[in-house]
Amino acid sequence: MNKTAVVTGATKGLGRAIAEIFAEQGFDLCVCARTETDLDAMQAEWKTRFPQTKLHIYPADVGKKSEVQEFARFVQSTWQHLDVLVNNAGIYLPGGVADEREGSLETLLETNLFSAYHLTRALLPAMLSHRSGHIFNMCSIASLMAYPNGGAYTISKFALLGFSKCLREEMKTRGVKVTAILPGATWSDSWRGADFPEKRLMEATDIAKAVWGCYNLSDTAVVEELLIRPQLGDL
């Protein structure tokens, strides 16, 4: 039986790269994204690229608690045991605290923080019952320092790192690993059309390889936080 992994926001960017590296390693996956056509296209492509992998797709907007819970029930009905959970889905809305659009904080917290909180709580029993598993939370450089023109975004990412730290302490003696990934600028749909040299940002596959490296350690070791920056530094 293949190992199992859940990845949110898995059809593009970092989520897609992370899902693919686990598929390459023989995992079966449950993934979600907002756009059903993107999920269908991903499944069609994987039938050729990863014929030994079972890919289970589910359309969900993780900014809505009810859809997070529906996705969790889908995963629970698919598997009794879960090896990896990657809370990757997230959005960025520009603006400072003083001038960003009303409701930005609520929107960003719902997508970037609450989704990870609710999905983790729902799926933890599938790890705790076997005293094994690994949870990855996709944080950011913005989890450590104020992000220019990113008031509510920065707040949400600081909070996600705080959630990761709490969860790490709670899971320490219960067999479940928790890793916060803190990437700097990485090529993804968020940067589509940006006028930067290609080598100024990291590749999504760089982050995926780092996630796999964190996972592929002995049972006695865990990477609690992994900070990854472009070679030339932050933008």
Q: Which residues are catalytic?
A: 153
Backbone angles phi, psi at 215, to 5 degrees: -70, -35
Residues in Cβ contact with 72 at an 8 Å cutoff, skipping those fewer than 6 apart = 118, 119, 122, 123
Taking the CA atoms of the chain, what radius of gyration do you get in angstroms? 17
Please give the Cα distance from 153 to 37 (Å, whole number). Answer: 27
Name the E strands within 25-83. 28-33, 55-59
**Pairing mode, strands 84-87 and 28-33:** unpaired
Could you tell me the maximum CA-CA distance found in the chain, to the nearest angstrom?
Answer: 53
Q: For tokens 């859940």, what's the residue?
A: 6
Amino acid letter at 168? Answer: R
* First and final C-alpha spacing in the chain: 44
Orientation of helix 36-49 relative to helix 13-24, angle to 10°? 30
